[in-house]
Amino acid sequence: MQRQVIFGIQGAVRAGFSHEYPISRSDAQYLWMVFLGNHQNEPGILAEIRRNKLEEPFETLKLAQRSMNFTFEKEGDVLEALAISKLSREYPSPHYFITGGIEYREKKNGDTIGELDLLVGERDTCRIIAIGETKLGVKQLSHAREQLRRFLNFLKFKCKESGNCSNGRHN
């Protein structure tokens, strides 16, 4: 694995995040409520989207809903979808695939240990290029780092347990 990314909202890079999406917490929350309630085609909502200059993230979220089946059950799904869209410019298809919301667990039907918000891989080799987290709060950086560390430790443990990793590395 080459890279870890942590996406935040407007001002997150100043707080130490690697990436940010130019949206405020309140605007992200508003868009989440629009999509959660399935109000995205209502004329009054569309007028408010234009008035608040949220057309670009709104259209990106509509596309994510259609093409990636985002349901926006959690507020953080808004930033996750926006981050995937932004990463797709850096890692374009068809050479790469980008996904998110990956739950991992100890056993097939066991309890969830954690969830990885972002994963970028090479399509031809399935080699993982980057993993990442998204956080709507700029004070959540340490939590995002801990989540990435937990995932990497999980991989390291599974790798050693299975003996299927070259040189004990998890690529």
The answer to whether the bond into 92 is cis (omega within 30° of 0) is no
In a domain, 168, yes or no: no
The kind and range of the H/E element at 47 are helix 43-51
Question: Best-predicted range by mean pLDDT among 48-52, 154-158, 163-167?
Answer: 48-52
Stated pTM of the model: 0.88
Please choose, from the candidates 30, 92, 90, 91, the residue with its C-alpha nearest in 3D space to the C-alpha of residue 61: 30
Share in percent of the chain as helix, strand, coil (round to 5):
45, 20, 40
The kind and range of the H/E element at 64 are helix 55-67
Number of domains in the chain: 1
Question: Best-predicted range by mean pLDDT among 47-51, 105-109, 165-169?
Answer: 47-51
Question: Tokens for 91?
Answer: 């890692």
Helix (H, G, I), strand (E, B) or coil at 112: strand
What is the domain extent for residue 12? 3-163
How far is residue 48's CA from residue 33's CA, in Å, rounded to a whole number? Answer: 13
pLDDT digits (tens, 9 = 90+) for 6-65: 999 999 999 999 999 999 999 999 999 999 999 999 999 999 999 999 999 999 999 999
In a domain, 85, yes or no: yes
In a domain, 169, yes or no: no
In a domain, 20, yes or no: yes
